[in-house]
């Protein structure tokens, strides 16, 4: 019998830009302390630390753990580009399911603003990168085809940014806590046509953490199991080599990761009450929601315009503000998403609370590999 | 398919095995079982996963195709001059290739006919580095 994995606590630091006095180690440690405090976990309760980051350099997790007084434990660092934090969570989930640990600290952390300029790219050795591919380019090509194939408008795509900024006005951990207008998105500086600056998630610093427990671990922390959010399933897929003249927005990698999670959780798309979606770019929110079967193919633009994906709509997406407005410290994002789901499922989300949220899905997509439909996709289903 | 770098070559390609010089053609591979072509060349067929005795063989690809999607990139990491046009080009033998189009973006449309062109991509160890891009078909015929 596999062990269930419960969320005992969650914590974040506000995403944004931090100066040289605040390193990755301090960001990660602050989020970890907040999560441990929320869970009522002492240092001696933690059995292992799983850390997701991309640009943190060698053994960043161990550098952070020393700050926390968690030195000496089993610590591992997990890299799957923008899905790194969610991948660390998945590895921790598997360790608990296997009975290897009862209380695990999972941290996603990134310090980007001092090392990334002009947007993130694939590895320089990647054939697409050699041609000048940047992440914004891939999504610009996706947006152009989406409009051509489905009759969606530029305005509908831009409305994703307007909606997510409106949501994060109520998120104290968000990098941006102000609304933006459609006109501002449309007239922002061009990045990769048709996408402008406000269609792109920012380069951010930040960290998020959760304490993950088996039933035994919960008892040790004297926490109640009833109604507590637990992981129903986590899917992980990698890109497949594509051949022929494929549909650019087919999102087969997303479909495969979602099917994994739905099947393992024993639920379907119709059971999902809210989504934390990897909106690294506006268009990405739309095509990925379609890819995981939550919105009919080609209708994502109309759904956004109609308010169906707003808090209060029939499928609230990114109540946290998403990557566009909460910010996107790449290794931290996957853990920040599940922090938001945890707060939503436990009714702690304040003015951005989704009514009667019982099951949520968090999706990350990390990296690109030339000739494939992506690097890595994770799909976390959390339910109470 | 791997070749050691030959010291007496007068140029360097951006990567070995991607293209031939004369005539300029991208080099893909074709599956002997299902005939699917892919670029760059692979030692297996991703389409049919055929495990026949014969592995895919390297073939020159069609030098012309049509623009499937394109974007003008205005912001890129240091070292790349902006703006530039990046596109998916569907070669006439049904292989999709990502590359830059060396043409004013105002002259590019979805479906636009383009042709392969080898181009300079900097220097390394005193030798020119050769890469590839696409140009408008009329432009290539005039050249």
pLDDT in tens, A310-322: 999 999 999 999 9
Which of B35, B48, B76 to substitute to test the interface with A, most A CBs within 10 Å? B76
**What are the φ/ψ torsions at residue A35 (nearest 5 degrees)?**
-70, -40
Of B79 and A206, more confident: A206
Q: State residue B1's pLDDT score.
A: 41
pLDDT band at A222 (very low <50, low <70, confident <90, very high): very high
pLDDT in tens, B106-142: 999 999 999 999 999 888 888 899 999 999 997 665 5
Chain A residue numbers with beta carbons less than 8 Å from the beta carbon of B84 are 132
CA angle A62, A65, A67 (to 5 degrees): 120
Domain boundaries of chain B, sorted by first residue:
12-142
Sequence-ordered list of residues with C-beta below 8 angstroms from that of A212, at least 6 positions apart, any chain? A5, A6, A7, A8, A89, A92, A93, A96, A103, A104, A105, A106, A231
Domains of chain A: 6-116+204-228 (3.40.47.10), 127-201+232-383 (3.40.47.10)
Q: State residue B143's pLDDT score.
A: 47
Q: State residue B10's pLDDT score.
A: 83
Of B126 and A221, more confident: A221
Mean pLDDT (chain B, rounded): 89
Percent of chain A with pLDDT over 70: 100
Whole-number Cα distances in Å, B93 to A245, A359, B49, B70: 10, 47, 20, 20
Chain B residue numbers with beta carbons less than 8 Å from the beta carbon of A142 are 69
Mean pLDDT over residues A251-270, rounded?
97
Mean pLDDT (chain A, rounded): 97
**Residue B58 pLDDT greater than 50, yes or no:** yes
**What are the φ/ψ torsions at residue A338 (nearest 5 degrees)?**
-80, -25
Mean pLDDT over residues A344-364, rounded?
97
**Do A191 and B74 lie within an 8 Å CB cutoff?**
yes
Residue holding tokens 């046509």? A193
Q: Catalytic residue numbers of A?
A: 82, 328
**Do B38 and A141 lie within an 8 Å CB cutoff?**
no
Q: State residue A167's pLDDT score.
A: 98
What ipTM did this prediction achieve? 0.94
Closest C-alpha to A227, from A96, A358, A41, A32: A358
pLDDT in tens, A35-77: 999 999 999 999 999 999 999 999 999 999 999 999 999 999 9
- Chain A nearest C-alpha distance from B88 (Å): 8
**Residue A179 pLDDT greater than 60, yes or no:** yes
Chain B residue numbers with beta carbons less than 8 Å from the beta carbon of A121 are 77
**Do B100 and A132 lie within an 8 Å CB cutoff?**
yes
What Rg, from alpha-carbon coordinates, does chain A have? 19
Q: State residue B51's pLDDT score.
A: 62
Residue holding tokens 């943190």? A56
């Amino acid at each position: 019998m596999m062990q269930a994995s419960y969320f005992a606590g969650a914590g974040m630091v506000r995403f944004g830009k931090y100066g040289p006095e605040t390193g990755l180690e301090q960001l990660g440690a602050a989020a970890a302390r907040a999560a441990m405090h929320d869970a009522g976990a002492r240092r001696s309760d933690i059995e292992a630390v799983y850390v997701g980051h991309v640009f943190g350099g060698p053994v960043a997790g161990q550098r952070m753990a020393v700050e926390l007084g968690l030195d000496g434990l089993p610590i591992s660092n997990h890299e799957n580009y923008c899905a790194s934090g969610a991948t660390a969570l998945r590895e921790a989930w598997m360790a608990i399911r296997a009975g290897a640990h009862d209380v695990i600290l999972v941290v996603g952390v990134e310090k980007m603003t001092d090392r990334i300029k002009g947007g993130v790219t694939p590895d320089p050795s990647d054939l697409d990168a050699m041609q000048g591919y940047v992440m914004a380019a891939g999504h610009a090509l996706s947006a152009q085809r989406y409009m051509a194939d489905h009759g969606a408008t530029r305005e509908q795509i831009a409305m994703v940014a307007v909606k997510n900024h409106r949501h994060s006005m109520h998120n104290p951990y968000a990098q941006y806590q102000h609304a933006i207008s459609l006109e501002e998105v449309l007239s922002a500086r061009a990045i990769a046509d048709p996408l402008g600056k406000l269609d792109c998630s920012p380069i951010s610093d930040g960290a998020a953490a959760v304490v993950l427990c088996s039933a035994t671990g919960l008892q040790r922390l004297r926490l109640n199991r009833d109604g507590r959010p637990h992981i129903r399933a986590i899917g992980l897929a990698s890109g497949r080599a594509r051949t022929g003249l494929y549909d650019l927005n087919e999102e087969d990698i997303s479909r495969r990761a979602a099917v994994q999670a739905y099947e393992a959780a024993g639920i379907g798309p119709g059971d999902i009450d809210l989504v934390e979606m990897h909106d690294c770019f506006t268009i990405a929110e739309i095509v990925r929601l379609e890819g995981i079967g939550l919105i009919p193919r080609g209708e994502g633009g109309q759904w956004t315009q109609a308010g169906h994906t707003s808090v209060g709509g029939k499928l609230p997406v990114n109540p946290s503000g998403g990557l566009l407005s909460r910010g996107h410290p790449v290794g931290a994002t996957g853990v920040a998403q599940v922090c938001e789901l945890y707060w939503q499922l436990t009714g702690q989300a304040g003015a951005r609370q989704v009514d009667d949220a019982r099951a949520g899905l968090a999706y990350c997509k990390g990296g690109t590999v030339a000739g494939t439909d992506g690097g890595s996709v994770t799909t976390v289903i959390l339910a109470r | 398919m791997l070749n050691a770098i030959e010291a007496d070559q007068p140029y360097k390609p951006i990567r070995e095995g991607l293209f031939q010089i004369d005539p300029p053609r991208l080099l893909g591979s074709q599956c002997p079982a299902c005939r699917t072509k892919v670029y760059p060349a692979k030692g297996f067929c991703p389409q049919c996963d055929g495990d026949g005795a014969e592995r895919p063989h390297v073939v020159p690809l069609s030098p012309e195709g049509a623009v499937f999607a394109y974007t003008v990139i205005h912001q890129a990491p240091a070292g790349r001059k902006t703006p530039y046009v990046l596109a998916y080009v569907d070669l006439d033998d049904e292989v999709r290739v990502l590359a830059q189009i060396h043409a004013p973006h105002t002259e590019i449309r979805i479906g636009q006919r383009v042709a392969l062109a080898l181009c300079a991509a900097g220097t390394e160890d005193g030798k020119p580095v050769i890469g590839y891009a696409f140009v408008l078909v009329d432009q290539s015929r005039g050249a």
